[in-house]
Amino acid sequence: MDVRSKGTADADVVELCARLLRFDTTNRGNGDAEGERAAAEFTAEVLGEAGVEPAIYESAPGRANLVARLPGTDSSLPALLLHGHLDVVPAESADWTVPPFAGEVRDGQLWGRGAVDMKCFCAMALSVVRWFAATGTRPRRDVVLAFVADEEDRSELGAQWLTREHRRLFEGCAAAIGETGGYTFHTPDVEGRDVRLYPVGTAERGTAHLKLTARGRAGHGSRRNDENAVVRLIGALDRLAAQEWPVTLSPIVRAFLARTGDALGVDVDLSDVDGTLARLGPAAKLAETTVRNSTTPTMLDAGYKVNVIPSEATAHVDTRVLPGTEADLLTEVDDLLGPHIERQFVARQAPVQASLDSPWFTAMAQALRSEDPEAVVVPYCMGGGTDAKVFTPLGIECYGFDPLWLPKGFPYAAMAHGVDERVPVEGLRFGARTLGHFLAHC
């Protein structure tokens, strides 16, 4: 990819991202976090220098959220929300090739925790705002910028708090962009030619994190006990883990399969989804987790001494739900759990679906093709979740669009929350130019 001259939207995006990466904004969960205030103050300084007036809102000491409004040329148009989070998941320095908070460029890539998830996007947004200020350019519509805390936990001190306590900040917003989408996904077509897909997040599975509690009769570990809470819990978890949930195709996944199959020259048979996924080759990774619900055991806790059978054992199950399926899924889960197991929600958020054939999606596709004319832009459903689940109930259509150019073979899927997280320098510059095009024309 070519490096464009100064004065374009990508002129300083690498340095801005490196600066953000050097703030240790680790979020360990349950209120244990650091650095968000310092990162928000730096972000506010950059915006202020570009003539934008930001405001910082603290949900708790140090848990900073920044919101600003960039005026557009046509106040009659509905506003666009651009949201990103400043916190990151923990990183163990001893496991990394480059220190995780060094913000160092090496081998054409910028390394650091948050490089992909998602300080890259925050840096792109800041770079575009600077470009607007330097060139006297303005977006067509107002753009609300929200850089939030706590997304890497439960968003309770970030987007959830903001939308509850300061909902007025988002009035007039019709659509939003955030993580994840608009990145290059290389895959061969039926003739072996490289096709560059750019999946745009247009839906998310719902979240139904469950806590399971098994109860039984306490006793001595050496004696027979047919009411062992640990055994009851293990049996229930084994049944859940072994369950093969049926295929359920949401409109977005149907569209992904059809459009991707067409681009690759692959026959798409929606009556045989598993066969279709097999024919899609590497592109199947973009859909394989979203054609079914999932129930994944992730945490276990029981007992306090090896020779004591406890009266209670608990587990957590990460359950992800496709639109319109939650009631039937939970009924089946209860049948699989059986008696003596209590189920309760730890977190519960509905699935997200945005309009596919909309001016927003069209504008994102046009922005990507402005930088890569051969881009094949497809909708896709995210298997996990983002703050889109928080903003959607406000009546905002939420998309995953933080564009990146990625070279063939770049292990993008392993970057977010992974060791040696990094982003290609030229990918960042591509993303800033693409985002600038989108914000100027959408």
User: Looking at residue 7, what is its pLDDT?
Assistant: 59
Cα dist from 390 to 79, 147, 217, 324, whole Å: 17, 14, 42, 19
CA 417-420-422 angle, to 5 degrees, is 85
User: Looking at residue 2, what is its pLDDT?
Assistant: 34
Q: Pinpoint the residues of the chain covered by CATH 3.30.70.360.
A: 206-349
In terms of pTM, does the model score above 0.95? no
User: Looking at residue 156, what is its pLDDT?
Assistant: 95
Given a contact cutoff of 8 angstroms between Cβ atoms, the answer to whether 205 and 382 are in contact is yes
SS3 state at 401: coil
Query: What is the spatial distance between Cα 143 and Cα 85, in angstroms, rounded to a whole number?
Result: 17
User: Looking at residue 5, what is its pLDDT?
Assistant: 36
Q: What is the pLDDT along the chain (442 residues), one digit of tens a residue?
A: 333 334 578 889 999 999 999 999 999 999 999 999 999 999 999 999 999 999 999 999 999 999 999 999 999 999 999 999 999 999 999 999 999 999 999 999 999 999 999 999 999 999 999 999 999 999 999 999 999 999 999 899 999 999 999 999 999 999 999 999 999 999 999 999 999 999 999 999 999 999 999 999 999 999 999 999 999 999 999 999 999 999 999 999 999 999 999 999 999 999 999 999 999 999 999 999 999 999 999 999 999 999 999 999 999 999 999 988 999 999 999 999 999 999 999 999 999 999 998 999 999 999 999 999 999 999 999 998 899 999 999 999 999 999 999 999 999 999 999 999 999 999 999 999 999 999 999 9
Q: What is the DSSP string of 265-298?
A: T----TTSHHHHHHHHGGGGGGTTTSSS-EEEEE
User: Looking at residue 4, what is its pLDDT?
Assistant: 35
Given a contact cutoff of 8 angstroms between Cβ atoms, the answer to whether 386 and 81 are in contact is no
Given a contact cutoff of 8 angstroms between Cβ atoms, the answer to whether 352 and 392 are in contact is yes
CA-closest candidate to residue 179, choices 135, 235, 120: 120
Quickly count: other Cβ atoms within 10 Å of residue 241's Cβ: 12
Query: Which residues are 175's β-sheet partners?
Result: 80, 397
Q: Pinpoint the residues of the chain covered by CATH 3.40.630.10.
A: 13-180+386-441
CATH class of 206-349: alpha beta
C-alpha of 373 from chain center: 26
SS3 state at 176: strand
CATH class of 13-180+386-441: alpha beta
Q: Which tokens hold the place of 170?
A: 């988002």
